[in-house]
């Protein structure tokens, strides 16, 4: 008697049978979520189905995945629009960071992405440190143009001014 739990649409392609499955998760060696793949019955029965990585490619499952894909595309579009708006507004802003420096303008420490992110967040811009693309830490006083990367096609720049601390500036004038 056949096991009803593992009934699949086996397709014969010459001398090897294959099964059509719908991937519920991304499988690196096979495909992305929502794709229909053709695999050997043993691979499906012993790995993909028991671990919930795939399901039988029925019409109902295909429709459900298509609905989910459309919903996800809408969410991605909204997120991309919000990121583009953030990029447009933050590009008009310039960050001023105070740092202890020598009279020649060399910093005692350095300014890194985390420092820039904190300054942007305090100005109500939700920029994470991993969005900031620095060639290296900023180690001198001056003005820098720093690249911000939010998504593959959403990038902008922000001006970062590194100035001496108020106490150091007043001591240098005296």
pLDDT of residue 166: 75
Q: Which CATH architecture has domain 86-173?
A: Roll (3.10)
pLDDT of residue 66: 83
102-140 burial, b for 16+ CB within 10 Å, e for fewer?
eeeeebeeebebebbbebbeeeebebeeebbebeeebee
pLDDT of residue 69: 82
- Three-state DSSP at 52 gives coil
Give, in words, the CATH class of 9-81: alpha beta
pLDDT of residue 8: 52
| CA distance linking residue 83 with residue 101, whole number of Å | 35
Strand extents, DSSP E, 15-153:
16-23, 36-39, 54-56, 94-99, 106-111, 132-133, 138-140, 142-151
How buried is 143 (Cβ within 10 angstroms: 0-12 exposed, 13-18 middle, 19+ buried)? exposed
Per-residue tokens: 1: 């008697």
18-52 burial, b for 16+ CB within 10 Å, e for fewer?
bbbbbbbeebeebeebbeebebeeebbeeebbeee
| CA distance linking residue 140 with residue 17, whole number of Å | 67
Looking up tokens 């060696």 gives 29
Instruction: Report residue 27 CA to chain centroid gap.
Output: 19
* Tens-place pLDDT, residues 112-161: 999 999 999 999 999 999 999 999 899 999 999 999 999 888 999 999 99
pLDDT of residue 1: 43
- The residue extents of the domains of the chain are 9-81, 86-173
| pTM, rounded to two decimals | 0.63
Taking only the tens of pLDDT, the chain with its 174 residues reads 444 454 555 555 556 789 999 998 888 889 988 888 999 999 999 999 999 999 988 888 888 888 888 898 899 999 999 999 999 999 999 999 999 999 999 999 999 999 999 999 999 999 999 999 999 899 999 999 999 999 888 999 999 999 998 765 555 555
């Amino acid at each position: 008697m056949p096991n009803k739990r593992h009934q699949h649409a086996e397709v014969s392609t010459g001398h090897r049978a294959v099964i059509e499955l719908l991937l519920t998760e991304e499988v690196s060696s096979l495909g992305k979520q929502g794709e229909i793949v053709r695999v050997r019955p043993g691979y499906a029965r012993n790995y993909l189905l028991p671990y919930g990585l795939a399901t039988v490619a029925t019409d109902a499952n295909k429709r459900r995945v298509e609905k989910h894909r459309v919903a996800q595309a809408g969410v991605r579009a909204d997120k991309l629009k919000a990121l583009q708006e953030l990029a447009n507004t933050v590009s008009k802003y310039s960050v001023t960071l105070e740092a202890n420096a020598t009279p020649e303008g060399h910093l005692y420490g350095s300014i890194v992405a985390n420092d820039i992110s904190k300054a942007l967040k305090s100005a109500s811009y939700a920029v994470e440190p991993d969005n900031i693309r620095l060639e290296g830490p900023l180690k001198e006083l001056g003005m820098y143009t720093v690249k911000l990367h939010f998504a593959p096609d959403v990038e902008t720049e922000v001006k970062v001014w590194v100035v001496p601390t108020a106490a150091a500036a007043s001591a240098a004038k005296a």
